[in-house]
Structure 1
């Protein structure tokens, strides 16, 4: 799943790894439930209700606006369901302590991936086998084998999170390799989450593997919000040149016009709306903007959150917020390394939906699958370190 973007970029191998693996996982879930049925948590029933409410709002919005096709609506429903299906596959099909039982193998594979990518980085810095013309933060952005630096950053970050599950102190050299790869990928989100990841590792040591109370995170989150508010406001809310800002502005215009439902599935910001070039884009006069035209629509599906606002309106946005709150409630019940693992994956996912269609990608599917699998873990299975990352007298 980590290398799906690189594999799918090979023209001679036309595979959709995302969909292929999800179908395999759904088959596993179906068989597992037949052989040994597992009951859902009470809050998971509420999660499903909110998810179906969200999709229902999208269907009604599509019917009310008359702007989207049936095909586009069906494709969007599948795209929206992917990550949630992956969560339930992880939660129900992989019962028990799957992560802790295979943690040595998982971490060895993560170390190998980081080592190979780090070696490729060193080679590419000397001999540019995968040249890049993009400059950010004063350095040449590195893509390596991936089609975009975002995927290099994400693959490195996932490996770092898996290495943080157990024996983080012993894995510091590999964690630093991952941090270096993310630095040369030069993505703001990746760099911010490296800092957050190390902060949470240290915080967990000070808390002696107890719960991370969300009140402890209010302060750092508020500081981060204040530090980056000017960037958020200028790039996402008021810019006349930023593609994502125009997407958000367009999303709010649609939500206001079709209040409270939005324009419906398959009409705005999604892959199907781009392939059919939804009439909404003509109404918003997006055809005048580079990257938003029929011939070059590369930026039209650049934000999951903008898509949510436009297609599902304020009612759908409230339903999605409810889903996010339920996940936070799940996370608050865990403790130690398990809580840290799920929390960092969830925060990364919720941040990524601002800048990409993350929850419809292979990385989003992988994140939710791992979250679902980790929900079955207890910290006693993973908290076997000889020494904490940071000793507390």
Structure 2
């Protein structure tokens, strides 16, 4: 009798935990979306990142060893960044340094926290509870994106390919795309939808997504459709597939490549060029947090920008630094230097490799690849990996990521492998 009572109590406790975690995740995601609509972001994503880092520090017993190594490398990058600040002496605003430290690590910390904080049944319940939202968002965005092709209803931005980019009720298309990463995670991973219904939502969802006319939307669509077909016949990606995919992505993103990387007067091209100069000048550690390419570097207008003559370039001036924090990888190269930026890139690479170990359905694996890779590639021309919109995307990926089997579980020794 006592065992039966104990069992019932445990079941009720588990249900209560599931409900609390579901409500918590959904509330956080909707708050992020709300702040994107109302004020183009907030410090909520920094709070999430800081809380996630604390969670990983104190509740790490269930984290797989492969991911523990990745998290350790990430913490090491953060420490190296602070050491770089002490060595370079370019800024003494330690509040900005701390804000920047959190900004450049928050997405990864949040990803790992959500990956391990929730159990499988909790993740599935969250996905299923968000299904009505995903359906509504898909249907409404499709309807208004079609209307926007023929009439100006205030939901479009700049023109590309002869089409005005659809942004729904957001300020920027990238915010609209970020929420679609959550929507597609739900559509792909829900177990409450028939196959024909699912394909219907896939179709109108991808059409709506492409209406943004931005490279992240195009890349996600190409990778998702291509890999959904590919994984039906193959378990792993082969070299020839990568080469073909790279060519297709380059062709699809030709406009962005020419605009951002080839045009010598492009602010993003300039930031890339001087990121290497900064890494060499402050070899091997870099210039440190809040000094180059980051939001805090722009807010405080880094001394490096005067040194490099950025104050005389339109869009990079102290009174109009619109493009001063509009990229991500140059920030990593300049602020972390050669050592730190390589370690930083390895962290992102290891996260991707952990996804390749997951054994699941073709569409689910295709989503993980497509959602993650479009963020990594998009970071060449935007600061998506340090933005609140990026936080929405990474929380979505983390929600549906499945724990890969730890291949080293039979060997108790800790092996570092990249």
Classify the TM-score, shorter chain. Answer: 0.7 to 0.9
Deviations for 1:304-323, whole angstroms, at most 9, x for unmatched residues?
10100111111112102221
The 5 Å alignment of 1:58-207 reads 58-68=81-91, 69-125=93-149, 127-130=151-154, 132=156, 134-165=158-189, 169-207=196-234
Rate the CA distance shift 1:26–1:231 in 2: closer, same or farther, 3 A.
same
Match of 2:392 in 1: 366
Match of 1:316 in 2: 340
Shift of 1:117: 1.9
Structure 2: 5+ residue stretches without partners = 1-28, 406-418
Structure-1-length-normalised TM-score? 0.83
Which 10-residue stretch deviates more, 61-70 or 117-126?
Answer: 117-126
The 5 Å alignment of 1:1-393 reads 1=29, 4=32, 7-10=35-38, 16-19=43-46, 29=55, 33=59, 38-68=61-91, 69-125=93-149, 127-130=151-154, 132=156, 134-165=158-189, 169-207=196-234, 211-213=235-237, 215=239, 217-224=241-248, 227=251, 234-337=258-361, 338-376=364-402
Shift of 1:229: 8.7
Q: Distance in 1 between matches of 2:171 and 2:259?
A: 24
Shift of 1:248: 0.6
RMSD of aligned alpha carbons: 3.1
The number of residues matched between the two structures is 371
Q: Distance in 2 between matches of 1:368 and 1:214?
A: 26
Rate the CA distance shift 1:345–1:225 in 2: closer, same or farther, 3 A.
closer
Rate the CA distance shift 1:324–1:16 in 2: closer, same or farther, 3 A.
closer
Q: Is the 8 A contact 2:49 2:105 kept in 1?
A: no
Q: Distance in 2 between matches of 1:74 and 1:188?
A: 32
Rate the CA distance shift 1:129–1:26 in 2: closer, same or farther, 3 A.
farther
Deviations for 1:38-93, whole angstroms, at most 9, x for unmatched residues?
42211122112211221122112211211123222111111122112212221221
Structure-2-length-normalised TM-score? 0.78
Q: Is the 8 A contact 1:96 1:377 kept in 2?
A: no
Structure 1: 5+ residue stretches without partners = 380-393
